[in-house]
Amino acid sequence: SGCSEVNNEDEFYEKADEYWKSIPATLNGMLGGYGRISQIDIHSSYNFLKRFLEGPKARLKTKRALDCGAGIGRVAKNLLLPIFKTVDLAELNSKFLEQARTYLGEGSKRVGNYFCCGLQDLQLEEKTYDVIWVQWVTGHLTDAHFVKFLNMCKAALRKGGLVIIKDNVAILDVELDAVDSSVTRNPEELRHIYSAANMKIVFEQKQTHFPPELYNVYMTALE
């Protein structure tokens, strides 16, 4: 539909970088003041992942995962490290990554790589990950970079692996947030991007029990 087209790409990325530089490297900072939702969030994510780890739909190995837009490592610590042997973090903000080393505690011993870059500049080795977890960060990518990122993720998955996107979804039109410089896409737009990257939806589920004033959040497993 083109309504999420970003007029000035450099400015779009720079403003996001500036915004996050002003945010404290804390759990509450990562969640925009909604630190209290972290447990509900992780619990739902775990149940979503579990269907691919055990039972009739099991397909995932548990060797290595990547946490994209990792912040201080909230998802890595509470969701991925308890399941996967090694976890890598990708995060643009160096202050957050520095904090992650402390925040992850003992778990930091099983962190493979700390990639300090935006997802549009990330480079991954092929056939490396069982899960690439991408939460609350795709809104910082332009449409073209989102497709490019997914193509790279697809190549970086091991056999049976999944890209899992957990993000805000707009109900009607795409919304541009001028404060943190991000877009919130609608389902139609997201499907357009997934198909442009030749990825198909394996399973999708709406997040429940979040405060009503927040956006709808969906978890989407792609292959």
* Beta-carbon count within 10 A of 69 CB: 25
Q: Is residue 3 part of a domain?
A: no
* Domain limits for position 31: 9-222
Mean pLDDT score, 196-219: 97
Phi, psi of 98, rounded to the nearest 5 degrees: -60, -45
pLDDT for residue 19 is more than 90? yes
- Enumerate the known binding-site residues for S-adenosyl-L-methionine: 69, 74, 119-120, 135
* Beta-carbon count within 10 A of 125 CB: 9
Q: Is residue 1 part of a domain?
A: no
Q: Is residue 75 part of a domain?
A: yes
Q: Is residue 39 part of a domain?
A: yes
Q: Is residue 174 part of a domain?
A: yes
Give residue-wise pLDDT tens across range 135-194. 999 999 999 999 999 999 999 999 999 999 999 999 988 889 999 999 999 999 999 999
Q: Is residue 148 part of a domain?
A: yes
Identify the pLDDT of residue 1: 39
pLDDT for residue 5 is more than 90? no
CATH number (domain holding residue 59): 3.40.50.150
Give residue-wise pLDDT tens across range 21-73. 999 999 999 999 999 999 999 999 999 999 999 999 999 999 999 999 999 99
In angstroms, rounded to a whole number, what is the distance separating the alpha carbons of residues 214 and 216?
7
For CA atoms 214, 216, 219, 223, the dihedral sign is negative
Per the structure, the count of domains in the chain is 1
For CA atoms 214, 222, 54, 81, the dihedral sign is negative
- Enumerate the known binding-site residues: 69, 74, 119-120, 135
Phi, psi of 7, rounded to the nearest 5 degrees: -70, -45
Q: Is residue 2 part of a domain?
A: no
pLDDT for residue 2 is more than 50? no
